[in-house]
Amino acid sequence: EIVLTQSPATLSLSPGERATLSCRASQSVSSYLVWYQQKPGQAPRLLMYDASNRATGIPARFSGSGSGTDFTLTISSLEPEDFAVYHCQQRRYWPLTFGGGTKVEIK
């Protein structure tokens, strides 16, 4: 199965700063990479699909890039509501797999 490695595990930043999150796959998943956001005590929420497509209602400060094995989620300027855990998932192969998550916390 495909192993996804997210880095860093924790990112400590201030509101207004730029966040750059990485997700690396153990083999190529083409562009079939999905990002979810999860806040404490809540269910995950779809953020981006197929590496660079924002889901409905997701603000433009969120952007995604990458293909093959290396992917990046960028939040251009952190808002207070963006502090959360971000999970990547590959949808290229069954079984679907998630990365371990990156927590974006307030510095």
Partner 1 sequence: QVQLVESGGGVVQPGGSLRLSCAASGFTFNTYAMHWVRQAPGKGLDWVAAIWFDGNNKYYAGSVQGRFTISRDNSKNTLYLQMHSLRAEDTAVYYCASGFCSDVSCYAEVQGSWGQGTLVTVSS
Interacting residue ranges for partner 1, rule: CB under 8 A:
1, 32, 34, 36, 38, 42-46, 49-50, 53, 55-56, 87, 89, 91, 94-101
Whether residue 63 contacts residue 69, with contact meaning beta carbons closer than 8 Å, is answered with no
Nearer to partner 1, 2 or 78 (CB): 2
Closest distance to partner 1 from the beta carbon of 15 (Å): 25
Nearer to partner 1, 14 or 56 (CB): 56
Residue 56: which residues within 8 A CB-CB, separation 6 or more? none
**Edge-to-edge order in the sheet of strand 19-25:** 4-7, 19-25, 70-75, 62-67
Closest distance to partner 1 from the beta carbon of 14 (Å): 25
Q: How far is 55 from 34, CA to CA, in rounded Å? A: 10
Whether residue 86 contacts residue 101, with contact meaning beta carbons closer than 8 Å, is answered with yes
Nearer to partner 1, 16 or 60 (CB): 60
Beta bridge partners of 98: 89
Closest distance to partner 1 from the beta carbon of 77 (Å): 25
Nearer to partner 1, 14 or 42 (CB): 42
